[in-house]
Amino acid sequence: MTALLLLLTMLGFLSDAARATDTLCSLPPVTYAAAKIAYPDSAFALDQLESMGIATWYSDRDVNGNATQTATDLVASCPESSRLSVVVCGLPNKDCDAGYSNGNGTVKTGADYEEFITNLTTLVGNRKVLYMLEPDAVGLIANKGCAVEYGYQSNLSMAISLLSDNPNAEIYLDVGFWTLERSDTADIVAQIVKELAQAGRVKGIALNTSNYRSTTQIAELCANFQTAVGSTDIHCVVDTSRNFQEFANASTSR
């Protein structure tokens, strides 16, 4: 789950009126500045990428920058009329199955996580904001393994409740795309999302975060989810940032 581009393809994200008036606002990834120095010949391309809408990662991992400073800069940089675009990534024992993203984080316990989320809510206040909450967390809960052991669902419920104190917050729960490929696991995910939605302002799910699935495939999986949950009012936001990059991310991903 790297802090690369999170370009959002909206699948029924907001009402038509909200979509017409809201402009998503974020900061360029902190990795861009170092990349320009390391690869000066590519600086022009990175300048172009900086002009695109990229969700800002509020993370407890140093690779994504200091979380408090990141949120402070985001709020200061974005006009009041915009909607902040934020990926929240600080769950204790995150990515507990694969283990790629669970090291070097400052959040170790549920109390740490509550402080981490509260800090974000204090900085954001009542600004309009779109939150994508905890990459892969719901998918791992559906697997009924380490995520259950580490209390993912209770921590997510707490985070949703705190984030929902802001009446202008829209929350999307990140779901591993693979959980929606079969109807039985899609049903499990749908039930988890329904339970978590009771905690606050959950509007839908996020799919394909830092992954390589084609937009066509993800649209089908979103439809699978809506069938399982029994509603088209719960929508999907999709990360399309790694589409069309060849090799593992072939041009057929468009």
| Mean pLDDT to the nearest integer, 153-167 | 98
Q: Of 36, 42, 50, whose CA–CA distance to 7 is shortest?
A: 50
Taking only the tens place, the pLDDT of each residue in 210-219 is 788 888 889 9
Residue 118 has pLDDT above 70, yes or no: yes
Using a pLDDT cut of 70, give the percent of the chain over it.
84
170 with 133: CB under 8 angstroms? no
pLDDT score at 213 = 83
pTM: 0.86
Q: Where are the domains of the chain?
A: 8-253
Domain covering 8-253 in this structure, CATH number: 3.20.20.40
Residue 1 has pLDDT above 60, yes or no: no
Helix (H, G, I), strand (E, B) or coil at 131: strand
Q: What is the mean pLDDT of the chain?
A: 85
**Binning pLDDT at 50, 70 and 90, where does residue 251 land?**
low
